[in-house]
Structure formats: structure tokens, C-alpha cells
Structure 1
């Protein structure tokens, strides 16, 4: 009886072992799972780095240099009348190009523009003995108060030409010997063989007078993609040095002129309208048509080399003055603002439209106190600005620029992300980011 129990017990042990052995021979073992540490979230996901360009039609100086605004030659023309501390509403020494004369009342400011109107003094050309040499057109002009334009500066103006056989001009003169014509654009030549070509032509020129008189004018032309009378174009001029004159269209250099002699003297800045008889006389019906007879200037801005660079501390490009929004990640709708009234006289600020945001990665020391300084303007809107996941603050509506500072400790972090995000429904403007240890 005892023997039978032992045999049965052994058989129960052996059979499972054999079964397991058979299964091991026919079934492949699963590989061991590798244990992976969870990755840190990518804070920059959804953002872009660089690949950002400034809208040239908004105007801006060449980004390879560091600039500051020259206020005396800068105007957004948003006031009710001409700023007489900056401008003469009539050319101080020249009456205009025959058969036109400058008339003070034809220079006005309204609807955010300088308006230079040209009108007719007659109802029919039969009233004029010699239409090319007798004055019958009332033109317009505006100049700076003094010879404030200097070599080394960058100048730009947003201009929509008149629809006349007259020039819409932006130029510099009234020195001893030099003239620089940034643009003399004929909006609509009355000569059919010239009308189409000239309506697209960006024509720049240089002249020498007085003690240096003798050399012929040296000019350059560029064919624009649209007519000067159809829309505003930003015409820029970098008087880089006495022999290097660079001309820009909507932020892009398109021409260069080396003048016959070095242009080293200070000059007046001038806007005006003139009759060029070789391109045909203006038609009286057009001179009487307010939809055609006015040259518009949306802004003129002048920049001079900055006396010092902006110090952003550990923040790179904290003033947003570098091209392509260098060193900043961005998403949504953003823009570099160049309107000097919005920017409180600064060259650039960053505009964040609703949902627009930027951030910058900065290396820091652990367990160290830092202060972030910045400026913000958010009329009617709101923004969240600060250090991502460490210390951020919500900025409510603020109609004017406000300087802010934020103090925090880096804790265990060796890198942080400075962030600015529009959380409202109106544009937010930021500028002047600086990060430094306390």
C-alpha cells in the first residue's frame, strides 16, 4: 500500500516536468523589456526658431547696423496739423519748377498722412500764353526746418504717388554743392509712349552744384512690381558714407550710386511735387480731381547710428533689433512693429497678436536669484509674461508702455525659458527684455 502511494506521487511530479520541457522546446521566449526614463516635455514644441522676416512695407532700417530714431526728422503724420517745430510747409528758398509754383495751402496733414496737393490756376490751357514756361500749376512742398540730414543716417518714407503727370518726390538739398533725389516718381505721364514705363519706375539721382559744378548727374532706376500711384511703397535711403548711397524699396536694397564728388555736407530733407515738361503737362481735369491730385506720405522716419547697444544681460536680442527675430522661438501671429509712435521712439518692438507667443531658452546657475526686466504695452488686452513653470505674471490692459520686473530663484534648473504670450483679444507689445543675477 505504501509502495503504490510513492509511485503515484512520483508520476505526478515527473509529468509536469516533462510537459514543461516540451513547451520550452517549442515556444520562443519574450525579450526582456528595456526600462526607459520618461523624457522631459519639449517646451518649444509648436514653436518656430528663426524663419521670420520683417514686413518691408512697414518700413525698417537695415538690420545689420544698430540704430536709434532721429526724432527731428521723423513723423508718423497722425496729428491734426503739420508739426511746425519740425517742418516748413513751404520750400524756404525755391518757388518750384516752372510751370508750377509751390503754394502753402496745398501742403496739409489729415487722415494720418502728409498731403501734397497739386491744383490748376486756370480752367483751360487757352488762358496760358506759354503752358511750359508760364506758371499755371499750384504745387506743394515741405522741408525740414534746418540742415538736419547727415551722412551715416538711414531715411525712409512711405509714399503713394499722385495720379498726375507730375513728380511725387523725396529728396535732399540746400547745401553748398550736393543734391540727392531718393525718388522722383511720375505717377501718370500724359505722354502715352512714357506713361506705362514711368508708372513703375523708381528713379534716384544725384546732382552737383556750386563750387563742385561740372560733373553730369549720376542716377539709377529700378522697375517696381506695382505702380507708384496704386499703393504705398516704402522708399529708403542709406547715406552710408560720403561716396556710398544705397537705395531701398520695401526694406530691400535695389540700387547704389557713387556720386561724382564726396557728399559730406548736411542737407535739408524735402518732399514736393513738380512738373517735368519732358514727361508731359498735367491735365487740368486731373488737377481738379481730388482722387488723383494728391501725393500722400504715411510716414517719414530717420535713424542714426546708436551711441550704445542695448544690454539684455543673459537675454539675447532682448530689444528685438536683430533680423529674423534671432534667438527667439515664436508661434502664432507676431510682427516687429516699426511705428515710432507705438514704440515710444524705439526702432522696434514686438507685436503679439491674439494667441501669439515667444520664448527664449537661457542658461542659468542652480539655486540663484535672478531679475527679469521688460517693457509691455497692451491696450485693451492681456498677456502672460515671465519664466515658464517658475514665475509668471498676468498683465492686464495698459494703454502706455510700462516697465516691469520679476524676481525668481532658479531652483534645481540649469536652464529656463523666458516667455511672453498674448492671452487676450487685442495686440500686445513687448520690448527691452533683460535678465541678470541679483
Structure 2
């Protein structure tokens, strides 16, 4: 695993224009510091077929999850359900033959990243009741930052979710299993938008182990700060969100939703007009001393 910490791991800035150049980083890098683009940043301005995705994809990403797990509930992550085309990362979903399982796309970064970090994605949510996700996860699956988790499907009983973005984090104990995530009202961001209808930018400033700031279209919409919010049950032994994490894009069918009937029908999965989960770009920044 490649771990990105500080300046020696960075590449030199490219002088070419990037798709995100029109959008300034919405948080200050700190006194005497500036933001430097991390090379995991990807504009997806290349082609990567579903099979044999090629070098441009493989230098940053690999197919699947951080380990051999295939996903929750009816999820079955499959390498051929992800591809890059028309300047977008695209994740698709289809029913597995003679099964309730749904084959879905998932990709994971080779690099792991740690705080302080600003990360932002521009994405369009899939018109399915599946979760369209972008998240950070530690190698041991005990610390997680959910940058984007959204359920865009137009099923009538999904309307509340289709109008919201889930902005959250988790800390876990694996043996015996315990899971904490905040349940406050601000974990569900609402602005009157049905998020499957247009691209949205969602960012997180991971300032330190005890502080996260969330941004939607450049506007700060949520702050999670302090032990009582980050880890009130001390699952991290007083360390907070301190571990290097890999970046993951994927789709999921989740147990708590499947049990409520919030799972796609065969007809919905076969309807190509519903589109894929589209990612226009993702960018990562680390603070470095200003010259």
C-alpha cells in the first residue's frame, strides 16, 4: 500500500488546465501554508474500458474493494461494472443471472491518504435506489469518512432520500463488532434538490483526527468536531480518525434499505435510460509551506 503523507510523495504541479480549476478550494490551508494538488486527483479525461482498463486508470485505481469482500446485502462488486468513457468514471449495475444478487461497480485507490486533507468530488447520482458512494476507509476497516452517500432512485418510497445527501463518518470495533456514526439531523443534507437531476460537488476537509468539515457546491454545510461527535464511545482508544485511508467509489445495495423494500427491480436495472453513477472528477489537496 502506498501511503501519502507529506511533500516528498507529491508530483510537481501540472501546468495544463484541469476540469476543477474554476472551483477554488473553499477552506484556507492555514497560516503560512498553501494547498498542493495530490497526484491521486483524477479528471477521468481518458478511456478505460470495462475490461483491460489500461495504464491511465491503473496508475491510481484498481477494481474492487480494499480487500476480497464483495459488498453488503445483495451487492456483488464486479470488475466489468466500472469503466471510464466520455470524460467520466461510470459505475453501472445489473442483475446477476438466476440470482437476487446485483453486480455493481467498485474501484479503490492504490494510495492511502491522511489528514490534513481536502478532498472533493463532482458527481451525478444514479437513478436507482442503490447507494452511490464516495468514501475513505482505513485498511483495517475501523475508520471511515463518508464524503458522498446518496440514494437517487425515483421509486415513490425513496423520495425523501432522493432529496438528500448523507454526510457522515463511522468508527468501528471489529471484534466484538460495534459501530458508531452520528445520528444528528445535519447528517442528511437537504436543499430542495433532487440530486439525481444534476451534478453536485461534495467536499470534506479532514483537518485532524477530531475535526471534519463538509462542503456542498463550495458551501460549508456541516462540521463534525470533538470527541463527543467523532468518537463518543472511545472505539478509537482516544485517537480519533487518525489512520491512513484509501479512497473508494462504488454502488451498494444495503441491508437496512433492502429490508424496507428499497432495492431495484429487474425492470429498473434493465432500463438504460436511468443512467450510471457518473464521476466527472475527484481532487485531493495537502497543505504545504507557502513559498
TM-score by length of 1: 0.52
| Aligned residue number for residue 305 of structure 1 | 287
Aligned to 1:284: 266
Pick from 263, 269, 284 the counterpart of residue 241 of structure 2.
263
**How many Å apart are 1:118 and its aligned residue?**
0.8
Of 84, 102, 119, the residue aligned with 1:155 is 119
Alpha-carbon distance, 1:215 to partner = 5.5
Q: For residue 182 of structure 2, what is the aligned residue in structure 1?
A: 218
Q: Secondary structure at the match of 1:60?
A: coil
Aligned to 2:218: 251
Q: Which has the larger radius of gyration?
A: 1
Residues 156 and 83 of structure 1: is their aligned pair in 2 closer, same or farther, counting only changes over 3 Å? same
Structure 1 residues not aligned, in runs of 5+: 1-55, 311-438
Of 105, 109, 113 in structure 1, the residue corresponding to residue 88 of structure 2 is 113
8 Å Cα contact 1:150/1:265 also seen in 2: yes
What corresponds to 1:233 in structure 2? 200
Q: Distance in 2 between matches of 1:111 and 1:215?
A: 39
In the superposition, relative to structure 1, how do residues 224 and 250 fare at CA in structure 2: closer, same or farther (>3 Å)?
A: same
Query: C-alpha distance in 2, partners of 1:205/1:279?
Result: 23
Offset of 1:264 from its aligned partner? 0.4
The separation in 1 between residues aligned to 2:105 and 2:173, in whole angstroms, is 26
Q: CA deviation at 1:288?
A: 1.5
Structure 2 segments unaligned to the other structure (5+ residues): 1-19, 49-55
Structure 1 match to 2:129 = 165
Partner of 1:62: 26
Residues 175-190 of structure 1: pairs in structure 2 closer than 5 A: 175-176=139-140, 177-188=142-153, 190=155
User: Which moved further from structure 2: 270-279 or 102-111?
Assistant: 270-279
Contact 2:134 2:248 in 1 (8 A): yes
Q: What root-mean-square deviation, in Å, do the aligned CA atoms of Structure 1 and Structure 2 show?
A: 2.2
Correspondence list, 1:32-71, <5 A:
58-65=22-29, 66-71=34-39
Q: Is the 8 A contact 1:164 1:283 kept in 2?
A: no
Residue 33 of structure 1 corresponds to none
Aligned length: 240
Q: Helix, strand or coil: the match of 2:196?
A: coil
* Structure 1 position 58, deviation (Å): 4.9
**Is the CA contact 1:189–1:280 (under 8 Å) kept in the aligned structure 2?**
no
How far 1:57 moved relative to its partner? 11
Q: Deviations over 1:76-108 (max 9, x none)?
A: 000112520110122241211221200101110
- Structure 1 pair 215/163, CA: closer, same or farther in 2 (3 Å)? closer
Per the TM alignment, residue 218 of structure 1 is displaced from its structure 2 partner at its CA by 1.5
Distance 1:63 1:256, change over 3 A: closer
Q: Which has the higher contact order (CA 8 A, sep 6+)?
A: 2
